[in-house]
Amino acid sequence: MKRLAYFATTLCVLVLLAFATAAVAQQGEETAQGDVVGVSIRDNYFDPADIVVSPGTTVEWVNEGQNPHSVVADNGMFDSGLLDPGESYQVTFEGSGTVTYHCSPEMSGSVTVA
C-alpha cells in the first residue's frame, strides 16, 4: 500500500513537472518567434506594463490613447519624445537585464531581457 502511494505521488509530481516544462518551452518559443513585441500606450497605463523578451527583440509602443504620451527610460537609454495618438516608437533590446520606463509618475513599465 505504501509503495502504491509513493508511486502515485511520484507520478503526479512528474506529470506536473512535464506540464510546467512544456509551458515554459512554449512561452520561450513565442518570444523567440516574435521579433517585435507590442505594448499599447493607454491614457493612464502601459498594456502590458511589464514584459520579458529575448535579446534582439524589438519592442514597439503604440499610442492608443486620446492624448500625447512618451516612453522614457529611467536610465536614459531611450526617449521617444511626444507621441500623438496613433504614433509608435521602437527600441531593439540586446544583452540582458531590466530597463524601467515611464510616461508620467503614474504610468510606468519595464522590459526584462532574459
Mean pLDDT across the chain? 80
Quote the pLDDT of residue 2.
Answer: 57
What's the predicted TM-score (pTM) here? 0.70
For the domain spanning 35-113, the CATH number is: 2.60.40.420
- Taking only the tens place, the pLDDT of each residue in 41-71 is 999 999 999 999 999 999 999 999 999 999 9
- Write the Ramachandran bin of 84: left for phi over 0, alpha for psi from -120 to 50, otherwise beta: beta
pLDDT at 10 over 50: no
Tell me the CA distances in angstroms from 43 to 2, 49, 101, 102, 109, one per residue in order.
60, 13, 15, 12, 14
Quote the pLDDT of residue 105.
Answer: 84
Residues 104, 46: contact at Cβ < 8 Å? Answer: no
